[in-house]
Amino acid sequence: MIQAKTRRKANRQGQTGTQAAAARTQRDPARVLLAWGALLAGAGVALGAFGAHGLRGRLDPEMLMIFETGVRYQLWHALALLVVGVLRLNPNLAPSPTASSESSRRLRARVLARVGWLFVLGIVLFSGSLYALSLTGVRTFGAITPFGGVAFLAGWTLLAWEALRGRSR
């Protein structure tokens, strides 16, 4: 039903269905967060399989454990990113106690978007640096990892703030 509406609207605007879908995605940050979450989760599964089957025996146990830590954090935060995307897509799932005004709903949407992008940044910096460290053995990549951890912590803190915002009113 939604696709039919999109096609009819696209035809009225002289766009193909694909162009209309692309424009809708560009306008809807929640769907972008969902897409990133799904892609990063899928990549995490692939990297986990690569680590378990392709790297076992090729990396020493310490480096394999570092690689697996990167995969674990990527998967958990990709799932968290999916949850944030769903919450942003449908604010009625967990309404904010102060969401009575339009400005409050917009603030909630902005906060959830920032949480999502902090999780993406954390995955890139934290997990990415662990992958690079374990595959190359270059210890300098380990200096990047804490920045990803800070991004994760900032995202979780901001999410907690959003969950508690307005409870005391």
Locate the domains of the chain by residue range.
29-164
Q: Alpha-carbon dihedral of residues 129, 135, 136, 138, nearest 10 degrees?
A: 40
Statement: residue 103 has pLDDT above 60? yes
Q: pTM of this prediction?
A: 0.80
Statement: residue 32 has pLDDT above 60? yes
Q: What tokens were used for 86? A: 């769903």
Statement: residue 159 has pLDDT above 90? yes
Percent of the chain at pLDDT above 70?
A: 78
108 band by pLDDT with thresholds 50, 70 and 90: confident
When mean pLDDT is compared over 50-64, 105-119, 122-136, the highest value belongs to 122-136
Per-residue pLDDT tens over the stretch 50-82: 999 999 889 999 999 999 999 999 999 999 999
Higher pLDDT, 114 or 105: 114
Mean local confidence (pLDDT), 18-24: 61
**pLDDT given at position 169:** 42
C-beta atoms surrounding 80 within 10 Å: 20
